[in-house]
Structure 1
Amino acid sequence: MKKDFYLTRYALIIKRLERSPATYPEIESYLLGSFEFQDANITGYSIRTLQRDIRDIANLFNFDIHNKKKGDNRYYIESRPVMEVDEYNQRLLESFQIMNAVNAQPDFAEFIHLENRTPRGIQNFYDLLFAIRNKKILEFRYFKYKDQTTTSRKVRPLALKESKDRWYLIAKDTKDEKLKAFGLDRISDLTVTKAGFRQEQTINLKEHFKNAFGIMNLEEEPEKIVIRSTKEQAEYLKSSPLHHSQKIEKETDSSVYFAYDLYPTYDFIQEILSFGNQVKVMEPQMLIGKVKEMLKKSVQQYDDPSAE
């Protein structure tokens, strides 16, 4: 059994048992019949390997897999993680499957085309996770895009958050005790200090970002936002919602109306503008005004030949 193939096995075992309980021979038949095993030229799968895989799955993905009791030797998933962890695990599994497909068969790279971009700031990922878990003060230099300055920061790290293919450190700034987001690609000279800290009160970051779009951590009350989408664009929005609060208000022969419960951040307005004439904001009036103003400025810069 190839050592670099284990993550693919985990994903296939989970996929099979999510469908229904199965005996070892049924699991073995499913795995050996999969395209993944066939492409890797794997012709055997022992019960000892299955038992080891089940233990590893429990540790890595928080899935408990057991045998049925007395006279029924089928394996089944006894417990599943909560929704948030389950979503994380699903994304983790998908990433592992892609990674293993490419690594197991190098010629697959000819058919899989990933974004040509260089991740920045990821080199500090482990150090940041260590500091968060062990509650260690962080010191670093931080570059601000707005005024093109670099300043020294000292923070109490709380979490890492992803937004639009970028990673951010969520931390309490010791200077003003405010909760802030720092782009990992703009952090330099990172030091995990020996000084620890105690969290005086529990911060529910999931609740904090519940009504925000993107990374902006705002305290404002959310608003009801309604957009009208063309039928074609609506299919993309249905398959990949802009926000977890998205719901369909109504449908007509030519349009679909989507409603959201969030604060209209700058990131959200940029997202709406990216749809062009496929999407129109219907409410609130304040947001309509902001979108119109930004569109007007965009047109003006093309009309003004002297604009640099």
Structure 2
Amino acid sequence: MPSLSYPFLERLAYIRNFGLNKYKTKEEFIEFLHSKEIDISQRTLNRDFDNLKIFGFSVVYESQRKGHIITDEYADEKNLLDRYIELTTLKSFKENYSDYYQKYVIDHESKSEGVDLITDIFDALDKDLTIKFDYQKFNNEFSNREVCPLQMKVSQNRWYILGLDIDQNAFRAFGLDRIKKLKIGSEFNPKEIDKSVFEDLEIQKFCLGVNKPIFDEKKKEEIVLEVSDFLIEYWKSKPIHFTQDVTDSHENGFNTVKFILIPNLDLIKLIVSSLGEIKLTKPRTLKDYISSNYSDALRSVYE
């Protein structure tokens, strides 16, 4: 993968937007980019298609239509490409206008820690290379890790690398803000990784956050929540998951919202920390689990 400069990211965004859910020939892509004063070859376009796949997009050629279609099946409202562009722009702004930023901006949320690692991580993802780093635990101690990176994920403004922890021989998620001294390691063969790791990777698409599922079945379920009028407008503007479906059902100041999710601790935290702004309707198994483990503190979830 080339350097993740802004012109490169801008070109990827143009290609993504032009071919998103539409069949376009390579000639049409190149002609469109030319209209934006960006000239590239078919070879460069092929590499850009591969780079879009790293950002989580599907790029498929259909011979009958003689064109490529770009889809974003698992994206939230903002996908990795958009989030990275925003993060890079924010970091550049903070650095170039640091005096103004500190003087005029109250910022306790935007996080650019780890952004400098993303270029190397994407390069490792692109070339199937391991990454080695020191990882800061919650007790502030560091441990040495070597990982076969498979995908990245953004949750609650934090970036994570998902992959195989070689020493543990297990799927793990690592927050970029806790990674230090990252180095590129040796080449690995994804086909030699146990299929259970890729199953865990697929599970992550249907989990909030990066915590493991709470049930052994690890199956996708319809999650039905009643969300207050106060909170629903925020969810409409910033969906919390790509399966979010805000229905037309509204009663007593609450709106019915449906998801397809695999229940995990992050989902429970979302519900129980809402102070009554979110109520769980179904599934019954999840209601029983919360009732058994958090009944004293969280009676408002069901009332």
Specify the code of the residue in structure 2 equivalent to 1:239.
S
Separation in structure 1 between the aligned mates of residue 255 and residue 169 of structure 2, nearest angstrom: 43
- Based on CA coordinates, which of the two structures has the bigger radius of gyration? 1
- Residue 272 of structure 2 contacts residue 298 of structure 2 at CA under 8 Å; is this kept in 1? no
- The corresponding residue for 2:279 is 280
Corresponding position: 1:120 with 2:113: yes
Specify the code of the residue in structure 1 equivalent to 2:190.
Q
Instruction: State the Cα RMSD in Å.
Output: 4.7
Using the TM superposition, give the Cα deviation of residue 280 of structure 1 relative to its aligned residue in structure 2, in angstroms.
Answer: 0.9
Separation in structure 2 between the aligned mates of residue 159 and residue 240 of structure 1, nearest angstrom: 23
Q: 1:260 to 1:102 in 2, by over 3 A?
A: same
Overall identity of the aligned pairs, in %: 22
Q: 1:128 to 1:261 in 2, by over 3 A?
A: same
3-state SS in 2 of match to 1:242: coil
Separation in structure 2 between the aligned mates of residue 119 and residue 94 of structure 1, nearest angstrom: 10
Unpaired segments of 5 or more residues in structure 2? 20-32, 50-66
Q: In the alignment, which of 121, 136, 143 is matched to residue 143 of structure 1?
A: 136
Q: 1:176 to 1:244 in 2, by over 3 A?
A: same
Q: Which has the higher contact order (CA 8 A, sep 6+)?
A: 2
Using the TM superposition, give the Cα deviation of residue 172 of structure 1 relative to its aligned residue in structure 2, in angstroms.
Answer: 0.8
- Residue 163 of structure 2 contacts residue 172 of structure 2 at CA under 8 Å; is this kept in 1? yes
Corresponding position: 1:156 with 2:148: yes
- The corresponding residue for 1:197 is 188
Unpaired segments of 5 or more residues in structure 1? 19-48, 63-77, 300-308
Separation in structure 1 between the aligned mates of residue 168 and residue 96 of structure 2, nearest angstrom: 50
TM-score (norm 1): 0.60
Q: 1:155 to 1:5 in 2, by over 3 A?
A: closer
Specify the code of the residue in structure 1 equivalent to 2:187.
G
Separation in structure 2 between the aligned mates of residue 185 and residue 79 of structure 1, nearest angstrom: 36
Using the TM superposition, give the Cα deviation of residue 246 of structure 1 relative to its aligned residue in structure 2, in angstroms.
Answer: 2.2
Write the mapping of 1:1-308 to structure 2, written as runs, cut at 5 A.
Answer: 51=35, 53-55=37-39, 81-84=70-73, 87-88=79-80, 113=105, 115-116=107-108, 119-145=112-138, 149-193=141-185, 195-200=186-191, 203=198, 207-216=202-211, 218=213, 220-248=218-246, 251-254=249-252, 255-292=254-291, 293-294=293-294, 296-297=296-297
Separation in structure 2 between the aligned mates of residue 165 and residue 96 of structure 1, nearest angstrom: 13
Aligned residues: 248
Q: 1:232 to 1:137 in 2, by over 3 A?
A: closer
- Residue 10 of structure 1 contacts residue 53 of structure 1 at CA under 8 Å; is this kept in 2? no
Worse-matched range after superposition: 87-96 or 271-280? 87-96
- Residue 140 of structure 1 contacts residue 152 of structure 1 at CA under 8 Å; is this kept in 2? yes
